Amino acid sequence: MMTYIIPFLVLILVVVFIHEYGHYYFARKYGVGVTDFSIGFGKELFGWNDKHGTRWKICAIPLGGYVKFFGDRNVYSQADHQEIIDKYSKEEQEKLFTLKPLYQRALIVFGGPLANFLLALVIFFSIYTFAGKDFTPAIINEVQKDSPAMIGGLKNQDVILEIDGNKVKSIMEVSKFITLSTGDVIDFKVKRTNTELILKIKPNIVEGEDGLGNKINKRMVGIKLGAYNNEVNHIKLGPAQALYHAVHEVYFVSISSLKYIGGMILGKADTSQLGGPIRIAKISGQVATFGVLAFISMMAYISISLGLINLFPIPMLDGGHLMFYAFEKVLGRPLSQKTQEGFFRIGMFLLLSLMFFTTFNDLKDLGLFS
């Protein structure tokens, strides 16, 4: 258990801290008072006060965190401004989040997801700069008999150029692009001698295991790959190239995640792959055995996921508050407290439903449900 718990705690501590620090940074920048900066929920295990009066603390339940602002009751979307003005002195009002201009409130809320994307960017940039990135072209060494690849027209010695419009810059990307595809067919653009062809392959969905031994439904096309001319091309990138590829990876993961979620909503993607804290703990422990590089790569992907999920327009998430601000901008006033409370009830229902579903998947993954 400790081989799972320790990597999980490290991952959560870093990713959640960065997220909450994004909120904290912009709050301090715009003069908002911050009373608490907490990693985890529940009983405080230990903490300290800084010179600005903020209580920094680690709490018992390490499944998130929060930044609490001065005078906070529901300061992200407070509508009763006059009551607040009457309650606090002029000096105290300067530290209140809810009395700040709309753009400042929006930036403070957006700061959390932004920090998660920046963390992923820094991780990918560092990996590409110091460890390098693979640019080995992918060539098909074998097409299995009667496989979707053979039926679709793929042949030995075809060089894979694109999959579903995504350029294949490395042999390592082929499996990733196939896995992330959600359509009934996958478009392969290949180079055959001096001709470029686009072939449509309908994958088989089979039960299998990922590289860590976890059960998944795999999309299989029936090909075996090799390095082009048997040459591996793994190089360390300069700062400009590393930044370009880091930005591209963050963008690709974000867009692919949104497409996959859209596919699940439409019933086209595999919902069994949606997991919660238990699965993250299990996978983080497994990935940690492959070394620091694999672990921090996973941290980057989890950070992107956290930033992305928090931008969903669901009340109680950062995206829900930004949605309220959009209404405030259009209407010229905040939504009424009653309307906001109605949205929050809907948001609570959606989040609890998601938690139930992911927990069920986690327990099923552990073999507790068939």
Active site residues: 20
Task: State residue 255 phi and psi, 5-degree precision.
Answer: -65, -40
b/e code 284-293 from CB counts within 10 Å (16+ = b):
bbbbbeeeee
Contacts of residue 21, Cβ cutoff 8 Å, sequence gap at least 6: 37, 115
**Residue (of 179, 214, 180, 209) closest to 362 by Cα position:** 214
Residue 1, SS3 per DSSP: coil
Residue 211, SS3 per DSSP: coil
Residues, the chain: 370
Distance CA 299, CA 293 (A): 10
Identify whether the C-beta of residue 84 lies closer than 8 Å to the C-beta of residue 71: yes
Q: How far is CA 347 from CA 59, 292, 344, in A?
A: 25, 37, 5
Identify whether the C-beta of residue 319 lies closer than 8 Å to the C-beta of residue 313: yes
